[in-house]
Structure 1
């Protein structure tokens, strides 16, 4: 390019730059000028000498002016006028609001919301009107607020969702009436229950899906779900089940177990959920070395170690560690050592899959209980809740004891929720224990039905009140009508007699017993006071007194002169007066879904204290059960027996033991034991026995059928005998089987857990029996409450 050309190009570029500069400067000048000019809204100002309100009927004009916030004689801008409009509208009293400036006068025009004349619900069946009324804020004779009505509809919808009716819809409708009134109607479409079609698990290796499903509070829809819709999807319950699963695995030594996620997928038809728990089980740990150390003067670690029951090699369980800590701290209290804490220090031994536990006995902070505050108990008296505490104001503070007290309060089953927390008191060395509870109904009225192969159909009516007048007392009435037995009873129990862990009770009973296969009828009236108290962690003793009036009769048409039964019935009414005791040791309900447990019962009654009959009656029972094969199979063994000693050899059949299918399966009631029989067979009386001994063994297991059917199988083997009489001679016939003679029975069972109650079918065969024993090869029972 020539020099001239380059010069022209430079000149051209310089000219363009100057043009851009002038354009930018012009725009900047215009913007600056505009920004300095006041807006129309800001420039507009008002000064009102008077304010009038139009359209209001119920709301005072002064109230409307107060809502607006505008006062006369003061300058008001347009923005402030808009704010005043919004304040009047936000009061929720008016459908429309208009602010009209007219010179020095401001006119506020309003249209009031109508007054609610009546609130009603339409379309609801599952939730009654009374329940829905408690959910809504809107009230009759109050101003109708559409925003409040919408919130009410949302609450009702949520209440249905908590029952598994996720498709429920609630629409508020307004029906205008005269005099600016309106009816508020909530139209409810309840929809169907969204049930859980399937619960599955991913990642579980040790326990099957079937076993884990038994642990959860959430259940799959059953076979009769079209009639009994119980297994609904509730999100809060799913979250609770996450913790339940963790507790289940922890109690079995899987300390690294965790639920990684829970997936809930709605089916294509939107009528069911598929819930999947994704889990990581980890390894199972056992207890390794168990040691104790002491940092407290006067606390011998060996003595404290002897107080616990942990053994190396046993499957690790946090519950057992907690129990060991409780025993150690209780020992410290008995030895007068205050503020002692036991700190479990756990060391993992990955190679041997063991957890070494060192219980460190340490001195805790000197903190005292300042007071215990109880709130939320509208019915239950404070003392009922305080009785669940083993500490009172002024005692040393023990966090573990507070946790246990909370569990004891929840175990009362008087409250929907019960929270126990500690907070700092008036000084740093004191704490206040807050107990917040929410009451729930404690009374129940049940109508029940039962059916037995021998007993036929039975009807039971029962009323129970667990918290009578808020005093923590139990009151119950029951009556049952069946083919063989009419039974009516009343019981009253004070569980904290004299403010201690003493259960004092009294019961009255009337019974009319007429066995189908016997010639006698027994009518019994009974009065029985009792006193029960704990003697160990799992043991309890009950003391009792019994006064009975027993009338035994034989109808003339059924009389067999000279027979033992007729001779006993001839004594007529007999008064029995006795005192007795019973000891019960039960570990079957310890922990979450325990894998094993033991029940031991032993009792004796001593008769003759002012009555017509002197006797000593002893009974004993031992039961053990455990789950095997990854807890899929339940094994149970039961041993029981009894002995009756009559010094005057004057026992009657109502005093002696009767063995039925509850003791030895495969035989009718009165089907085994001593019998009086003549050669012609016209006399065939079961007499009962002074002694009996029975052993029962059974296993219950899944059959591989779909779980929602609820059917399991079982096998059993029973062996036992009933023998011994005071009177063994008769002019009417011969007494058979008075001596000890074992009967052996084998059989299979079908268990069916249905929505109307548990059904059990027993098919049995006596492989060893006596000639005149009465077999029963099939037995069927059902019980239900509705």
Structure 2
């Protein structure tokens, strides 16, 4: 027994002196608790770090020579070394005054390749995986990369993708890694079903959702991809739709996606409870903040008693009051709406209470989820930054701005507790979406018997910087050629100033006697005045050439030979080059709810131009246009619009030139060609000094056509006039009087993957014999 005791004591002594304790996970940490608490080493011996180097290992240790350490320091050092990803095994032991760190190095990645991928290209996958050439081979990192690849394929509707890996040794300690991808078949959405909805049809509700049923063009739009997060966003879109149309008690009872594995397609079922529809009751403003007069804030309220309840109008009222109070020196004041439901007459009275909120500051703004858009593009939409007073209304306004950019399929802003009770972390979660588009436009002239085509490519978020670029080119039956290039920087010099330029060139053969060419450039700056009002200052320089046609002959130039055409209009312009130097200013008021599919709001602009800073033109021109949208039927989704425009130009010098005057046509009064209305000289449009136009239109979903396809029908009536030409003084021109032209017609609008397109057929019901008509028109459906 004594011998055994002596042997055990000897073993214990050796164990204590060596300080060896087994810890598992291929790591041996040897120390007794008592020894480790008082242990001090003199040096660190690193073994096995051939490629990484001993110093890289020492830099990741929390144990330093000459300083005492504990078991917690050993654990922390092991964790740090594993976290580098360079080691497959780590052992730490103590021998006398030496800390021995033994490591086994991971293999290094020589090359990363992808096999079997067709739907997602290599350059996209390289940005998704974290395993990189010259980096360590890590099983855990590769497993997470496989999951990232699967998530990327799920985002394009291929949730059954299979991803495996192949490892090929190429040299000692180096391997090539291949991700082998079996993309599988794309899942689809066969149907989106609603139950519980009475006020709105299934088609109307489906138009609100981002998720769409599969169709012929789904391979372009990718909107028929099921995603749980997107379905949650669709639930919120439904809530906002109902809340903004009077249904304050609306609820989404359930939403589910059922996968038919045989057909590899989903059926989405959404059950809702609409509740009652409300109108606004009494509306008032109260304040508990000293110095804030509630009566002065009443005029900022956009909700009106008797109108249909709208959560959007409540939010706008809160933001308007909050901005006014904050600018008055109360940054922490908050606006809280209190609702008073009256179930007997289905009204909701709203009291906007202004009180002193808690003092809180923004610790930081954290942006997540943006794979393409730069962080600063997102941050600059906030009116607050780190260190500023936290204000919820400012956050809500930033969310609306981010959504309006069109860069993201979803935007969610939340808050988290900061490092102290008065600090708040603002978290911005976004999901990028495609922002480029291809557009086509065309027109057909009955009189000239030909087609004019235009193609354009635009990018709203160039290189993720938020910059806008558009390139367009077109041509037509009358040798028309047009070229345009536009660029806009929305935050010039870091300010909320949209600065940009346009370069343009066009050429056309108006008739057999001369060709017309125009080229020039515009520089512009736009500044916001309020959320709904903006002002633009621009400068344009043009060069205009009227070139003799080959049939005309050199002797027919102005001042030429005996065969010169006796046409004072032609004599005045053919063979000459003219220039314009124009300074312009515009004010725009815009409250339209949705540029792609407007239902409510007003768009109005007033523009004035002065030409005379050099060039051949000297005039003052002013014109205005406005368009109002109003929902005629919520249930049927019928939207009406009224629009009008007017303009007048006066000469500041001797006379106006032909290119100084207004020209109108099919863009203003459908059924007529461009420049097809107004004074004419020998068949040529010479323009007028004054014009008026008006239009009424109603759009609606096409019967028997799923609304998910983006088609809408339209019926319209247009009218207008152009008169008062300065070039008709000899009495030979026609159409100088104030004769009204009018047309009626129908059209089809298509919010296509290539952009918003429109096809119109219009019949002139009031016209002059000399007008140029164009019954068919195919164009970009620019609402504004």
Asked whether the 8 Å contact 1:251–1:592 carries over to 2, the reply is no
Aligned partners of 1:451 and 1:783 also within 8 Å: no
- Correspondence 1:574 to 2:578: yes
Q: 2:648 aligns with which of 643, 648, 660?
A: 643
- Work out whether 1:660 is the aligned partner of 2:637: no
Residue of 631, 637, 641 corresponding to 1:632: 637
Mapped pair 1:67 → 2:58:
no
- Deviates most, 345-354 or 388-397: 388-397
Q: How far off is 1:375 after superposition?
A: 6.7
Cα distance change, pair 738–424 in 1 and its aligned pair in 2 (3 A): same
| Partner SS state of residue 773, structure 1 | coil
Where does 1:668-707 land on structure 2 (aligned, <5 Å)? Answer: 668-677=673-682, 684-707=683-706
1:256 to partner: Cα distance: 1.0
**8 Å Cα contact 2:111/2:176 also seen in 1:** yes
Per the alignment, residue 293 of structure 1 pairs with 286
Query: Which residue, out of 524, 529, 540, partners 2:518?
Result: 524
Contact 1:744 1:768 in 2 (8 A): yes
Contact preservation (8 Å) 2:510, 2:516: no
Q: CA deviation at 1:302?
A: 2.1
The answer (yes or no) to whether the contact 2:116–2:183 under 8 Å persists in 1 is yes
1:175 CA drift (Å): 5.5
Contact 1:523 1:552 in 2 (8 A): yes
Q: Residue 585 of structure 1 aligns to a residue in which SS?
A: strand
User: Aligned equivalents of 1:478 and 1:638: distance in 2?
Assistant: 29
What is aligned with 1:277? 270
Distance 1:657 1:70, change over 3 A: closer
- Deviation, structure 1 residue 128: 2.0
Q: What SS is found at the alignment partner of 2:304?
A: coil
Q: 1:675·1:737 contact (CA, 8 Å) conserved in 2?
A: yes
- Give 1:721 shift: 1.3
| 3-state DSSP of counterpart to 1:604 | strand
* Structure of larger gyration radius: 1
- In structure 2, distance between residues paired with 1:741 and 1:419: 56
Within 2, Cα distance between the matches of 1:326 and 1:722?
43
Partners of 2:264 and 2:308 in 1: CA distance: 42
Which blocks of at least 5 consecutive residues in structure 2 are unaligned?
Answer: 1-10, 16-21, 32-77, 89-103, 446-450, 557-563
- Give the TM-score normalised by the residue count of structure 1: 0.76
Which of 240, 261, 264 is matched with 1:247 structurally?
Answer: 240
Residues 1:451 and 2:442 are matched in the alignment:
yes
**How far is the alpha carbon of 1:607 from its aligned partner?**
1.8
Partners of 1:66 and 1:311 lie apart in 2 by 69
Q: Distance in 1 between matches of 2:376 and 2:139?
A: 46
- Residue pairs, 1:528-539, within 5 angstroms: 528-539=522-533
Report the Cα distance in structure 2 between the residues aligned to 1:94 and 1:361, rounded to whole angstroms.
60
> How far does residue 267 in structure 1 lie from its aligned partner after superposition?
3.2
Report how far residue 67 of structure 1 moved: 3.2
State whether structure 2 residue 554 is matched by structure 1 residue 557: no
> Shift of residue 756 of structure 1?
4.9
- Distance in 2, matches of 1:226 and 1:343, equals 45
Partner residue of 2:339?
346
Q: 2:569–2:727: 8 Å Cα contact kept in structure 1?
A: no
8 Å contact from structure 1 (residues 118, 183) kept in 2:
yes
Structure 1, residues 107-127: CA drift from partner, whole Å, max 9, x if none?
xxxx99987665433211011
Quick check: 309-318 or 344-353, which moved more? 309-318
Report the Cα offset of residue 315 of structure 1: 1.5
Distance 2:340 2:721 in 1: 54
Q: 2:585 is paired with a residue of what secondary structure?
A: strand
Partner residue in 2 for 1:485: 481
Call closer, same or farther: CA 1:737–1:576 in 2, change over 3 Å.
same
CA gap of 1:765–1:392, structure 2 versus 1, over 3 A, is closer
5 Å matches for 1:191-590? 191-225=184-218, 230-267=223-260, 269-337=262-330, 339-365=332-358, 367=359, 369=361, 372=364, 388-391=381-384, 396-405=389-398, 407-408=400-401, 419=413, 421=415, 423-424=417-418, 430-431=422-423, 433-434=425-426, 448-454=439-445, 456-460=452-456, 466=462, 474=467, 476=469, 478-483=471-476, 484-493=480-489, 495-496=491-492, 500-503=495-498, 505-516=499-510, 519-555=513-549, 557-558=551-552, 561-570=565-574, 572-589=576-593
- Per-residue deviation at 1:717? 1.0
Partner of 1:108: none
For residues 182-206 of structure 1, give each alpha carbon's deviation from its aligned partner in whole angstroms, at most 9, with x where no partner exists. Answer: 6544332212211112112111111
> For 1:135 and 1:385, how far apart are their aligned partners in 2?
21
Tell me, in whole angstroms, the C-alpha distance in 1 between the residues paired with 2:527 and 2:23. Answer: 69
Q: Which residue of 1 aligns with 2:759?
A: 761
Matches of 2:418 and 2:87, distance apart in 1: 49
Q: How many residues align structurally?
A: 684
Unaligned runs of 5+ in 1: 1-45, 51-62, 73-86, 96-110, 678-683
Q: What does residue 19 of structure 2 align with?
A: none
For the 8 Å contact 1:118–1:182, the answer to whether it is kept is yes
* Aligned counterpart in structure 2 of residue 598 of structure 1, from 583, 595, 602: 602
Q: Normalising to structure 2: TM-score of the pair?
A: 0.76
Secondary structure in 2 aligned to 1:241? helix
Q: Distance in 1 between matches of 2:180 and 2:551?
A: 69
- 1:774 corresponds to: 772
Deviations 1:288-307 (A, max 9, x none): 01123332333332222233
How well do the aligned residues superpose, as a CA RMSD in angstroms?
4.4
Pairwise CA distance, 1:746: 1.3
Return the alpha-carbon distance in structure 1 between the equivalents of residues 346 and 595 of structure 2: 23
Post-superposition offset of 1:725: 0.9
Query: 321-330 or 270-279, which moves further after superposition?
Result: 321-330
Question: Which range moves more in the overlay, 766-775 or 255-264?
Answer: 766-775
Tell me, in whole angstroms, the C-alpha distance in 2 between the residues paired with 1:65 and 1:745. 86
More moved, 322-331 vs 374-383: 374-383
Which residue of 2 is the match for residue 33 of structure 1?
A: none
Q: Distance in 1 between matches of 2:371 and 2:551?
A: 61
Q: Which residue of 1 aligns with 2:72?
A: none
CA distance in 1, matches of 2:538, 2:125: 49
Q: Which of 144, 162, 171 is equivalent to 2:155?
A: 162
Tell me the distance in 2 between the aligned counterparts of 1:526 and 1:323.
Answer: 42
User: Helix, strand or coil: the match of 2:660?
Assistant: coil
For each residue in 1:236-287, what CA deviation from the matched residue of structure 2 results, as whole angstroms up to 9, or x when unmatched?
2112111111111111121111111113222363332221211111111111
Deviations 1:297-336 (A, max 9, x none): 3333222223323210111222222222222233334544
